[in-house]
Structures are given as structure tokens and as C-alpha cells.
Amino acid sequence: MSPADLEKLHERGERVTVRWPGGPYDFVILFDYAEPGRDGWLTIHGLCVEPEGPQHRMPRSFYVRPVEGEERTYALLPKLER
């Protein structure tokens, strides 16, 4: 994605879902900004509002890929089983 595309990605404060495949929960952030990654990946930044709790309510950054066919939804790398 070009820098111009990233600026139009979402409005600041827009709710964005970050899926954690295989993880215990998903995240919802209030979008702040995005940075380009490699091979379709992005780093998105925002205030985490879900899951609830003071340990999660902080600015966070996630390295994600868009989920095809779902607006405002991204996915992290799958959680590795040990």
C-alpha cells in the first residue's frame, strides 16, 4: 500500500477488529494510523478498547493482514502451539 492509501485506510478513532487466530480473544482498537509492511502486511496503531480491563486499555501496535471480504478487520499471525 502506498502512503496515500494508508492515510485513507480508516478515520482516526474508528473501531477496527484485530483477530488473533488460535488466541484466547480478539482485539478492538480505536484506529490511529498505519504503517506499510511487506507482502501485504501492515502495522496498525490505536487505543485498545477490547478485551475490557485496565491491562488491555493502552495504545497498541499490531502487525496484521486485512481479512478478505470483511471491512475494518485484520488478522495477526496464528498463535503457535507448543
In this prediction, residue 11 carries a pLDDT of: 92
Report the length, in residues, of the chain: 82
**pLDDT tens for residues 26-78?**
999 999 999 999 888 999 999 999 998 888 889 999 999 999 999 999 999 87
DSSP 80: P
The yes-or-no verdict on residue 13 having pLDDT over 90 is: yes
Helix (H, G, I), strand (E, B) or coil at 48: strand
Helix (H, G, I), strand (E, B) or coil at 5: helix
In this prediction, residue 54 carries a pLDDT of: 80
Q: Cα 78 from chain centroid?
A: 14
The yes-or-no verdict on residue 23 having pLDDT over 80 is: yes
Buried b / exposed e along 45-69 (16+ C-beta atoms within 10 A): ebebeeeeeeeeeeeeebebebeee
